[in-house]
Structure 1
């Protein structure tokens, strides 16, 4: 029996770094391991710099292989500008390339579509529907609602258009995969498409953490995108760190340059680090910090699952479903999003004794029990096969 074919459509894929590209790469490799013949279609790598990576510049199409996975890389006009119109042009440019791909390339029966961005998700769902393909929609955040809550979108004609595109994607899909229960609840209000909850649990062998406390200082660490939604620059300028606490920052993004120029002795910016190298570095810190500037409905940062799998207790400052998970599974401390007064109070009073509340070994044990990758992925593959 020939292996079943599936095409993954995504706006992010390695060699780009970040949670989205890591998640889609893990899915592609997992599907390959499960026996699928996997193809991926994505733009030329450009995230987060907004510039096409060196080895891909000047190309309109590239075909690559990763073991048995075929990767189709398409042209786009890359931009990470803060200008909304320029970002929209960049998304539309990839949507146009994706449209040509659907007309010119032979496609499998099943199409797995990463949503958002909205325009990319809509383009993939529309042409998959037109060509009579089975459509599996992977919803990792609720655009345009998330944009409204972050203040980057306002209600009006453009917002209404995005909402109609979102509803079309939900209604015309054969299966909807949601990364949080809030996403599932939202989608079920607007369509009768079957749903499946698939949390962003990472797949790596966790190292054994150590609970030895030899350092005099307490170390907080943030690793990830340095953007407006995460608000790291604002937090650095708002919160006063006691002498016994240091804050270490890893990552890249729009705020990276401003953060690198901060002249605060307790704040150390390390730049961007390879994911595997980052894991070994993370083990040396005491607490993982996970913030969002506003509580975003549907958002559950994958950092919760990744860093607790390493054994790090989390200081969660983002609200919503993620905060409830941290409390319910006893993985760290939950402070309401945007409550800088409470965050300052917690940090000012943080001592070594507080770390005893959530020992690393116990955090890792709870995380592995609550978020079992193998069990979830097995159920996920059964859902994909049933479409």
Structure 2
């Protein structure tokens, strides 16, 4: 073989090897995909924006799963931020997430094809467990809170109000609640679409005069608002029983919730608001054994989660299937049956 031919063959071999290495290195790990053939499974848990409860609780669950199941069962989990329940439904559908934390309202709308999903039901989700209650915090300055009731928001006509990020569960739940009470939300307020921390900062700077923050107390953004603005200057608005009935009539997911005095800096009295369940959802194609191990690990290690966020104190085995708006995943159903928890027929696993 001539010298120049040998050189050509060497160059060709180098190019082929480089291409193979590039292909191998550029292959990205997908949600639920084995990082080592047949061994380690890495799952993505979609949460919401920082400043609320979804993100820190999601991080706590993901850390727990990885810590307890990483070596033993080769199951790992990574929590990611998102715009909340609305985006999380899409992330499950597009296989960009395997697990997600969702509002009960959003799960109900998506599964039934109502409200935001009118005529277009989303079935790419199953329930793992109820987590904690999503407590409604409608906040405004006391100068506008004549009675302390939610209807005081009528004093914000034409004024800036933060309803939550576009497409988020915060936006949807806020608009659903206010519409039920007779507000034409899009035309009544000058809406701002901000995340939790950004809403609290905007309220502090008076760039908005009210905000909607549904999350498990104590909520970082509400604590921030009370600490920086002062409990004497702002109010979390309350709901009457009749108002609760009106709101619950279309999507029966809400219940009474009392935020105890002292939950937030300077809060001297109980706040009578409403709440809906948050639940852990999973794609239906995630295998049964993985979901079983995840829910089992959560309930066997509740003290671990309690240290991470106070909202997890509400996670209780006896409430694990209460208020779930979509059917259970078979892996979750297996766990609850083993624990003797009665599963309502409406949420028994479906194909």
Q: Provide TM-score, normalisation by structure 1.
A: 0.31
Q: Provide TM-score, normalisation by structure 2.
A: 0.34
